[in-house]
Amino acid sequence: MNRRRELGLITLLLLLAVLLRAWDLSRLPAGFSSDELVYIRLTEAVRQGDVAVYYHAGDEQGRAGIYAIGNALVTALVGDGLLGYRVMVFWGGLLALALLYRLARRLFGPGVALIALGVMAVNLRAVLLARTATAESLVPLYVLITLYALVAAFNLYREIRFRAPGTLPFAALALLLGVSGYLHYTTLVLGPLAALFFLHLVLTKQPLSRRVWSMLMFVLVLATVVAVPYIVSTLREASASEPYVVWAERPRGVIDLIDGLLQAVGGVIWQGDARVTHNVSETPLLGPLMAVLLLLGVIRAVRHWRDPRYALLLMVLAAGLLTDSWVQRAPTFSANLVALPAIYILVGVGAVTLWRALRAQGRQQWLRPLAVGLVAVLLVNVILVRARLFQDWAQDARVAEVYQASLGRLAAYLDRTPDDLPVSICAARLNVPQVAGLSTRQILPLMMHREGMNLRHSDCRGGLVLIDAGAPMRFAFADLDHRSEMPPELADWLKDGEPIPVEGLPAGSVLYLDVEQRIRDSGGYWGTLSQTYFVPEDNGQNAPAQLPVTLEQNLTFAGYDPAALNAREPGGTPVVLVTYWRVDGPLPHNLGIFAHVLAYWENPDSGERSLVLEPWAEANALDVVPAELESRDIFAQVSFIWLSDSLRPGEYALMVGAYTGSVYNRLGVLDRATGERRGQQLFLGDIDLVLSGELNLAAGGGS
């Protein structure tokens, strides 16, 4: 083939590969899967200086650290977010294409290399790997680098060329074999594979220098030295190691192994991995025609098994399929990664074998249709990959769920919108791990590239942040379904919000909100109707407190909804106390708000009443993130206080206050005029507990 034409075809195929892998890279998938979030956590751990061989990251499986170290270096250069965390695997996918071509051309010539490059360029599995921020995405690249080092060390082209072995290629091979376990459990086969390949060279009496034996000892020693930390860590904590995955997922019998092998072969030919994070609609790795060419390539390789080139491909193919059959019975695309380079090259071998067979039989008239057919198959694959990836996969509801798509689209909106308005975000279960040991509010920043965003988080089912005393802001829902779960007292603050359209999110997911004037009006309402009293620490006489009331550590009690003091019956609906607080400076990170219902004890002799300090009912919580709040922010906290049906009818005192860490470590309440400490809680008033009939009577009289 003309070299200029070859370079033109290489360029065309690489540009096609770049287009399929780079198009909408930060939007498809729209967020991160749990596996990606695990590796992102590892990346962030490395960036913070925590470098280790193995990591635990929110699930039961340990993971090796070399991917995280590499991604930490890359993200330090390009940034993070939906695009930044995927840049390394994107680059890795393109480098794998270049290496695949280089290796195939060295072993089998430009024809096989071009076909292998074309197959990998438009292969759906290869495209998805280049969009997935996990260690397994780099396995094909690592395998290709190792294979290239292996053939370079033994000077293998289309045959073994005799020469004295050089130190550099063997040193590179030793380093790659020693490091292989640090990436992924599938790459553990590379060491045994290299040993088998050398054994094959010896048994088939290839022209090897006697110095090869000393070089092999050099490889063994150097690889062992490099692998020492890995071996020590594995022995110390076996359950966190990559080899443990192979042991834990082992087949339970011969039948399982055979079934797994059939499924592994089937995953390549007729039905692929069912997981949406690894595949689209259980699509096999190769289409029907490519599977036929693969079969032809395997047949030729088996027939020429003494040739080191074909033997190497067969070993790599077998290693990947056996790993897949060993780990799970079902097709598992995360386990057959080592086989991918061999599969792509064997397709090229099969196509060239068919071409040569037709030419040898004098059927020249079939050669041009075969070439046209291969080009047509390439174009059809491009169309199919485009439809499956950018339509079927992109619109799959399972993909949206697995990749936290709603959160990803919100992150993309915040990243790309040049709006400096602060954002108050409703994210349920603020500190409860949801995916990969991370809460929703921890996942959102990982999806964003933009830094310095003025964000506040709250669980709007119990808390709400009005930034800068209600000045113009944006209010966003991590999940719009949470709006229907908001208490009416909090939902009422959003009633006048103007929806901001966001691509991919339901209407109303983001609101423009301006309640500054309403906050001012509410201050007068609270000051008039929300009576508040200082409670002396020596249980003395309560004294009126003028709102707002200052507390220690930059917190001010702004007011509350007096509806919480309405009469009720024991065991009925809870007391719903909505309190409002103003931030005057940095708050303790472990701040909490308490609301307690206390009983009275009456002295039988004097008739005087005093409070029983142990609460009969209480709510201790804070549904905002104190560390995010800034001066002039107003936050609301809804306290749901359930009253036991065993409580006797009568008057009960409602108390409120703030604490740090433990409810017993309360913030002092200060006199605004003098700064004097006036206790550690505020008295809001008495709640009348009455029997059901009396409650109805009181309600009727009031009407």
- What tens digit of pLDDT does each residue of 237-280 get? 877 777 877 887 788 788 888 888 899 999 999 889 999 999 99
Q: Which of 177, 96, 183 is nearest to 135 (CA)?
A: 183
Q: What is the pLDDT of residues 32-73, one digit of tens each?
A: 999 999 999 999 999 999 888 888 776 667 788 899 999 999
Q: What is the pLDDT of residues 639-678, one digit of tens each?
A: 999 998 888 888 999 999 999 999 999 999 999 888 899 9
Residue type, 275: R
CA-to-CA distance for 213 and 196, rounded, in angstroms?
A: 14
pLDDT of residue 160: 75
Instruction: Give the mean pLDDT of 531-553.
Output: 88
CA-to-CA distance for 288 and 527, rounded, in angstroms?
A: 77
Tell me: pLDDT of 449 over 50.
Answer: yes
Report residue 229 CA to chain centroid gap. Answer: 28
CA-to-CA distance for 54 and 49, rounded, in angstroms?
A: 14
Tell me: pLDDT of 611 over 70.
Answer: yes
Q: What is the pTM of this model?
A: 0.90
Strand pairing report for 473-477 and 423-426: parallel
CA-to-CA distance for 445 and 285, rounded, in angstroms?
A: 34
**Domain segments of the chain as ranges:** 30-241+248-399, 404-514, 521-702
CATH number of the 521-702 domain: 2.60.40.3880
CA-to-CA distance for 622 and 291, rounded, in angstroms?
A: 59
180's tokens: 């292989």
Query: Higher-confidence residue: 244 or 365?
Result: 244
pLDDT of residue 161: 74
CB 654 within 8 A of CB 561: no
pLDDT of residue 702: 40
Provide, rounded to the nearest whole percent, the portion of the chain with pLDDT above 90. Answer: 70
pLDDT of residue 70: 95
CA-to-CA distance for 656 and 564, rounded, in angstroms?
A: 12
Handedness of CA 460, 462, 467, 471 (dihedral sign): positive
Q: What is the pLDDT of residues 190-240, one digit of tens each?
A: 999 999 999 999 999 888 888 888 899 999 999 999 999 989 988 888 777
pLDDT of residue 700: 46
Mean pLDDT check: name the lowest of 67-81, 321-335, 478-492. Answer: 321-335
Instruction: Give the mean pLDDT of 456-477.
Output: 96
CA-to-CA distance for 277 and 134, rounded, in angstroms?
A: 11
